[in-house]
Structure 1
């Protein structure tokens, strides 16, 4: 079996790490990866501590091999981190920020630190903070990350890492990807999406099928994800998730109107029943009226002052500006 120096550091047989999947249960997958000689991982995001402890205990019953527990800054949970230190896994992995104080606490507990980075600046921070393993994640990755490609990111981090092992992540799904990572100077790979689609992962089969059947162009960076994902709560945090388009091949179709012509007309006129139920006054839009013609057949033009043409503001009330009704209960 292929081994590299990072295998000896982590106590594994193959230079392959399975990525953590946030709040999803991946105990069976992590156990399978560990038993096969790699390093399995468990996520901790937005899960209560009793559930995390149950997962850790279940994984230890399934394998006696080393595994990693992951934490992130979206959000960081101090209670879960302290419990992780007490659990003493072989390694703690972290991404989206570089926290020197947490790295020191892990080292004090005798736990290795795997730091995932998505930029040169983050890599420099991680090396300065004493990370034991650096994961150079390219922008092709399915998780939250940056924009620099794996092909560029990996050798850049390898050159600055010195003796610190570097793993490659982002767009790697098979032996060819591993071979390419080794050629770039990495000592192994971290794979996420490939393992997410495996039989042992406890997510819906429909999701796995979408992953397998999708092309590279079916994924997009989800900018603006802070509107739906938990907030960052550590300084220096950064990362944009990549996801599959929904629905496949385009934008969702607009829902047809179903309220009938009267309801639709009321909606256009600002008198929609939803507005009435909420006590919101109707929208009073200016009504367009055709301009009158003078006896000679020419249209009257508005005036900008009394007795002159060419702009609004004349004495004719038809040419006075109409005020919009404010959307407030007082009106």
Structure 2
């Protein structure tokens, strides 16, 4: 077993958090439950979900597991009605991404939940620590979805230095035990992983997307330079970030001429929204991190958790034996 202090904070057995995989697709509560039942922390996404849907998701999850889990929201956008519904469900952990926590921390703590904050810069991490969050996820630019400009390797040790002893979990570019071991060496207490769990048996995204991840090289996951003209803008307190996606004809066409997307913004937005409604959004914008280059199979989520832990433990033992005075 590989335990760190954050395990005690979150009530989990191994220091792995499943990043929320929300959007027009649904990751499924089966994935969240499988991760939590394996001793890690599964996450419930709320993006593009109504308050009623979120309540139903949490109720379904509680039928599948009695283990801790997180419910995630973002400030791109932020829905106050959904937040009220989340707090009312009293999740063990609330996580926030893509924006400043503001006064949400006290409201979450008053509901008896822990607060986990995702950041993309050292300055954001320091503000989150001052706001009283319990855990920080330091997300590097390698991550899928909306991410910042700094690499995980450069960001994490700086955040650890800035907010310690607050637990820090890296996110971005991590898909195997080597990434978990590296995170611990950098001073972090575990990891938060998204793309590797996209390519899991329980994840509810289309098989076409999973297959694309399995065969992709890291350079095939690129920043979507025109996204600001197509996707919703951050709400108040939101951070400016740029999403990362696997290359598609749609991404390549408009990344080659992002300025032209300004004049075509309405048409592009209509096209994306239609794809979201008919279940083909992954054919346009399959948000995926650069860790896709490390993924060669589609495996059950519990197997992935156990694999990450056993690989990391073996690497750390081997590394310690090779050190000389």
Query: If you compute each CA radius of gyration, which structure gives the higher value, 1 or 2?
Result: 1
Per the alignment, residue 18 of structure 1 pairs with: 18
1:262-277 aligned at under 5 Å gives the runs: none
Per the alignment, residue 29 of structure 1 pairs with: 31
Matched, 1:51 2:53: yes
How far apart in 1 are the matches of 2:52 and 2:212?
32
Residue 219 of structure 1: CA displacement?
1.3
Q: TM-score, normalised by structure 2?
A: 0.75
Q: Report SS of the residue matched to 1:223.
A: coil
Q: Which deviates the most, 233-242 or 187-196? A: 233-242
8 Å CA contact 2:4–2:189 kept in 1: the answer is yes
Give a deviation string over 1:223-273, Cα, whole Å, max 9, x none.
Answer: 231322222112242211100111399659xxxxxxxxxxxxxxxxxxxxx
8 Å CA contact 1:46–1:75 kept in 2: the answer is no
Matched, 1:144 2:108: no
Matched, 1:134 2:136: yes
8 Å CA contact 2:122–2:162 kept in 1: the answer is no
Aligned residues: 252
8 Å CA contact 1:218–1:248 kept in 2: the answer is no
Matched, 1:242 2:250: no
Residue 147 of structure 1: CA displacement?
1.1
8 Å CA contact 2:224–2:251 kept in 1: the answer is no
How has the CA–CA distance of structure 1 residues 236 and 79 changed in structure 2, closer, same or farther, with 3 Å as cutoff?
A: closer
8 Å CA contact 2:171–2:192 kept in 1: the answer is yes
Q: Report SS of the residue matched to 1:100.
A: coil
The structure with more helix, counted as a fraction of residues: 2
Q: Report SS of the residue matched to 1:187.
A: coil
Per the alignment, residue 97 of structure 2 pairs with: 95
Per the alignment, residue 6 of structure 1 pairs with: 6
Matched, 1:62 2:64: yes
Give a deviation string over 1:41-82, Cα, whole Å, max 9, x none.
Answer: 011112122221111111000000000000001110101101
8 Å CA contact 1:69–1:92 kept in 2: the answer is yes
Per the alignment, residue 71 of structure 1 pairs with: 73
How far apart in 2 are the matches of 1:89 and 1:134?
17
Q: Which runs of 5+ in 2 are unaligned?
A: 255-325
How has the CA–CA distance of structure 1 residues 196 and 110 changed in structure 2, closer, same or farther, with 3 Å as cutoff?
A: same
Per the alignment, residue 293 of structure 2 pairs with: none
Residue 33 of structure 1: CA displacement?
0.1
How far apart in 2 are the matches of 1:249 and 1:103?
37
8 Å CA contact 1:136–1:153 kept in 2: the answer is yes
How far apart in 2 are the matches of 1:249 and 1:218?
11
Structure with the bigger RCO (C-alpha within 8 Å, sep 6+) is 2
Per the alignment, residue 82 of structure 1 pairs with: 84
- The list of structure 1 runs, each at least 4 consecutive aligned residues, that deviate by more than 4 angstroms after superposition, is 248-252
Q: TM-score, normalised by structure 1?
A: 0.74
Residue 162 of structure 1: CA displacement?
1.7
8 Å CA contact 2:75–2:238 kept in 1: the answer is no
- 2:116 aligned residue (114, 117, 123): 114
Q: Which runs of 5+ in 1 are unaligned?
A: 253-331
How far apart in 2 are the matches of 1:248 and 1:99?
34
Per the alignment, residue 168 of structure 1 pairs with: 170
Per the alignment, residue 215 of structure 1 pairs with: 217
How has the CA–CA distance of structure 1 residues 247 and 131 changed in structure 2, closer, same or farther, with 3 Å as cutoff?
A: same
